[in-house]
Amino acid sequence: METIDKIKKQISENPILIYMKGSPKFPSCGFSARAVEALINCKVPFGYVDILANPDIRSELPKYAQWPTFPQLWVEGELVGGCDIILEMFQKGELQTLLKEVAEKHPA
């Protein structure tokens, strides 16, 4: 499977997906740690892809997303943004609302 097809499949199969360095339990960079902490605090299920374990995705996703950095939060197939946007939305209460609505539409 081509890397872009793999990325599209991951995004389509996970209504809430974060591409990050490391895992939610063991993030490997400060930006990923802060972003995933915000997601965890929203108390909804989400998927993740460790880009350090997937160098093909790490190199191809920025081109596909037209977003150069990680983490990247994808919600229902749309790129929401990176760490700063995730934290800003969380502080305003927007992230909790968005993710709760999406989680209710897609029961695990």
Annotated binding site for glutathione: 21, 58, 70, 83-84
Which residues sit in the known binding site for [2Fe-2S] cluster?
Answer: 29
Distance CA 32, CA 56 (A): 19
Which residues sit in the known binding site?
Answer: 21, 29, 58, 70, 83-84
Distance CA 27, CA 41 (A): 15
Beta strand 72-75 pairing with 47-50: unpaired
- Peptide bond just before 24 cis, omega within 30 deg: no
Contact assessment for residue 30 and residue 71, using Cβ atoms and an 8 Å cutoff = no
